[in-house]
Amino acid sequence: LQQRRGLRLSAPAAIQVTVRDALNQALDEELERDERVFLLGEEVAQYDGAYKISRGLWKKYGDKRVIDTPISEMGFAGIAVGAAMAGLRPVCEFMTFNFSMQAIDQVINSAAKTCYMSAGSISVPIVFRGPNGASAGVAAQHSQCFAAWYGHCPGLKVVSPWSAEDAKGLLKSSIRDDNPVVMLESELLYGVTFEMSEQALSKEFVVPIGKAKIERQGTHVTLVAHSRPVGHCMEAAAVLSKEGVECEVINLRTIRPMDIEAVEASVVKTNHLVTVEGGWPQFGVGAEICARIMEGPAFNYLDAPAVRVTGADVPMPYAKILEDNSLPQVKDIVFAVKKVLNI
């Protein structure tokens, strides 16, 4: 009728969802779907979570499914690992992954190795999740990226989302996985809004672990990143596009197992590689990507050495201007691309 009257019909508005709400949706849907799933951690219940990721879940599911713990990471991580061995599917929230160092023995020696050491007879279906990497103004003890730390360890799966769809789909996949999964979120992304497709709003939407995503097609250089630096790569690609340089941006999504095939296929097409991460350079995620490319068939397609863009090789400073200069910025990615393309 509107068309007959000559009125223009507008397309349906895109659904905008914050990363925080996407994670909340995933937890809600999985708690509802499987009664073995429960959430535990500091302030996750009555306070609705330190970052409001678990908002409303305690009121909906009660004390047995959403559990406030004492400030003892080793203690509640150990409880969660034991519960997983006994057949439950715990989601263990660290208020920040810097605090996971208090429980690293439980994560590595108990969760990651038990399936192997029991010859496959004992699975440990647990998710360790929480904010990872730099926040803002919290200095050295609260601003380090653990992607390389946990990605180093066989027996773990390690995921690192960027967008709201990544966050929801990867958390649901992680909860359903029979292996221990470390999910490294970014506190600085929690309030960021992304478009979500109708499919992603479904209760059965999952993002497969171990599969990267091409966020932007390009022909001149491959940019590979995970978590918040993916956004920086997209911004740098937009800047470079105005200068005639088309970047292919790969959102790694999973650190372990790494989708090196996706990176190789892109490098074969673009002949150039730049990796971007917020972590330290030595033994980092970018270093692993560069090594894998050098060892594989895509090495012969490189027209220049791969370049890494990383955080500075120092503990995080507290002063804002120093903090900004310790983390990769859009200008650093643009500089690296021009360096690798010799322009």
Q: What's the CATH code of the domain at 42?
A: 3.40.50.970
> What type of residue is 164?
A
Position 139 in a domain: yes
Number of folded domains that form the chain = 2
Single residue among 146, 172, 198 that ends a domain in this structure: 198
Tokens representing 4 are 């007959």
Q: Which of 43, 142, 152, 235 is catalytic?
A: 142
Single residue among 157, 175, 198 that ends a domain in this structure: 198
The CATH number that applies at residue 315 is 3.40.50.920
pLDDT in tens, 108-133: 999 999 999 999 999 999 999 999 99
State the Cα angle at 94 between 312 and 29, rounded to 5°. Answer: 120
pLDDT in tens, 176-233: 999 999 999 999 999 999 999 999 999 999 999 999 999 999 999 999 999 999 999 9
| Residue 232 annotated among the catalytic residues of the structure | no
Phi-psi region of 317 (alpha: psi -120 to 50; beta: other; left: phi over 0): beta
Q: In what order do the strands lie in the sheet with 273-276?
A: 213-216, 247-251, 221-225, 273-276, 307-309
Whether residues 50 and 145 fall in one domain? yes
Whether residues 161 and 294 fall in one domain? no
Whether residues 237 and 188 fall in one domain? no
Q: What is the Cβ-side half-sphere exposure of residue 294, based on CA atoms within 13 angstroms?
A: 10
pLDDT of 12 reads 54
Question: Which residue range is the domain that position 232 belongs to?
Answer: 213-341
Which residues have a Cβ under 8 Å from the Cβ of 289 and sit 6 or more positions away?
224, 258, 260, 263, 273, 275, 306
Per the CB < 8 A criterion, the answer to whether 92 and 110 are in contact is no
Q: Which of 29, 30, 42, 73 is catalytic?
A: 73
Position 4 in a domain: no
Whether residues 24 and 57 fall in one domain? yes
End-to-end CA distance of the chain: 56
| Residue 142 annotated among the catalytic residues of the structure | yes
pTM: 0.93
Position 250 in a domain: yes
pLDDT of 5 reads 46
Whether residues 168 and 142 fall in one domain? yes
Whether residues 25 and 173 fall in one domain? yes
